[in-house]
């Protein structure tokens, strides 16, 4: 019984980290932003070639979001592809990382290659922006 419990706990811990830090095929240069402190540096001195994308619903984004993040709710991403340039690197996040991963998979099918799933906004230890 204890072995099953330990195995289950291990599996839960393993799966909870699956989304965090996923890099698309050409997203390797984004790995440096996996740490919150590095992403904070990017929000303090934005790079026009790297976009931070919040895929949570608009109402949630407006309540609080990572500074400089652009709102692209997951339900609207495919309708708004013309607003997401393929030549930019995209750091995608949501609440826990699952929705961000789904959006990355959608965008990969559309030819986007430079993306990273940052995970959830709960990882952000700094002040949020409000709309």
- Cα(97)–Cα(95) distance, integer angstroms: 6
pTM of the model: 0.80
For position 24, what pLDDT does the model report? 59
**How many CB atoms lie under 10 A from the CB of residue 114?**
22
For position 28, what pLDDT does the model report? 62
CATH number 3.40.50.2300 is the correct assignment for the domain at 20-123: no
pLDDT (tens digit, 9 = 90+) per residue, 74-113? Answer: 999 999 999 999 999 999 999 999 999 999 999 999 999 9
For position 29, what pLDDT does the model report? 67
- Cα(68)–Cα(66) distance, integer angstroms: 6
pLDDT (tens digit, 9 = 90+) per residue, 28-77? Answer: 667 778 899 999 999 999 999 999 999 999 999 999 999 999 999 999 99
* pLDDT band, very low/low/confident/very high, at 131 (cuts 50, 70, 90): confident
**How many CB atoms lie under 10 A from the CB of residue 7?**
10
Q: Where are the domains of the chain?
A: 20-123
Interior angle at CA 115, CA 107 and CA 47, nearest 5: 125
**How many CB atoms lie under 10 A from the CB of residue 13?**
9
């Amino acid at each position: 019984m204890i072995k099953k419990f330990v195995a289950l706990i291990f599996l839960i811990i393993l799966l909870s980290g699956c989304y965090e830090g996923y890099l698309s095929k050409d997203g390797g240069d984004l790995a440096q932003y996996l740490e919150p402190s590095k992403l904070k540096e990017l929000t303090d001195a934005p790079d026009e070639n790297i976009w931070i994308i919040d895929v949570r619903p608009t109402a949630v984004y407006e309540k609080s979001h990572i500074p400089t993040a652009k709102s692209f709710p997951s339900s609207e991403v495919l309708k708004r592809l013309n607003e997401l340039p393929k030549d930019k690197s995209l750091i995608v996040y949501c609440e826990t990382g699952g929705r961000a991963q789904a959006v990355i998979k959608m965008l990969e099918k559309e030819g986007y290659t430079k993306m990273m799933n940052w995970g959830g906004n709960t990882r952000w230890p700094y002040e949020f922006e409000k709309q």
